[in-house]
Structure formats: C-alpha cells, structure tokens
Amino acid sequence: MKPKRQALVPLKQAAAVIGVMLVCVAPLAVLASENYATLAIEVHLTVFAWNAPVLPLGVVVLLSCLLGALLLYSVSVLSALRDRRALTKLRRRVVELEQAQAASAPPCSAPSLLVPRLEMQVNQPSNPAPPSASRGAARPGSLQRGL
C-alpha cells in the first residue's frame, strides 16, 4: 500500500492565494479594458540623451512597474545578505562566549536551596469524644448557646 502523498500547499491556503490574486487582478483587467484607448496612446520617451522607440503608454507603465519591483527585490536581497552576515558573526560570538564561560567556571551542580521546614505541633485531646456522639451534642467544657 502506497503512503499518501502530501500536497506542497494545503488546499485552503491555495484557495486563499487564488482568491486574493483574483481580487487584485480582476479590477486591473477591468481598468485596462475600459481605458484601452488611453493605454494605446503612443508616447515618445527620452531618458537622458537616449530616445526610446515609440511605445504605447500601457507598455511604458508596465515596464516602470516591473523596474520598480526589480529595484525593490535587489534592495531587499542586499539587506538580507547584510543581515545574514551579521547573524553569523553574532552566532560565532555567542559560541566563543559560551566556550569562555565553560572554561572559566568550574562545573557546578544545581544550586541547593535550603528551605526552612515548619513543623506544627497539634495538641490532641487526651479524651477524644466517642464516635457515637453527634455534632450537635454538647461536650463538657464547651459553650452552648441557647435559643
């Protein structure tokens, strides 16, 4: 009998991702189809001294969004690499400090805590009441309230 293969992404999470994508992409598709005439306008783009070929406005906007995403990704990768280097340095430092502490301190057992012991002495009566006596019965030497 073959073991059941697990999915890479649970079904509920996949459905949630697809739902979010539809919520984001559907309005963009509607916006693009309603403004097709505007997005089809050809523009002349000049960057410094370079003249770009004539491109539709939609393509220029799409390229600028892709360029922004690429720049964001590169900045985040560089930041993650810097953080990784800092973490490796800190981990090495922790190992060094743990080794130095283990070498300098003699091995000790768990600290023993001396807890003071309280002993209570209970004075038991020399003549305990017979077991047949009820609770409401008066005992010698006790005060009984009258009704």
* CA-wise closest residue to 58 among 77, 34, 75: 34
**Distance (Å, rounded) from C-alpha 58 to C-alpha 103?**
67
Domains of the chain: which residue ranges? Answer: 55-104
**Distance (Å, rounded) from C-alpha 2 to C-alpha 143?**
83
Which tens digits make up the pLDDT trace of 64-122? Answer: 999 999 999 999 999 999 999 999 999 999 999 999 998 887 666 666 677 777 777 76
**Residue 66's pLDDT is what?**
95
Which tens digits make up the pLDDT trace of 4-32? Answer: 666 666 788 888 889 988 998 888 888 88
Residue position matching structure tokens 């001294």: 49
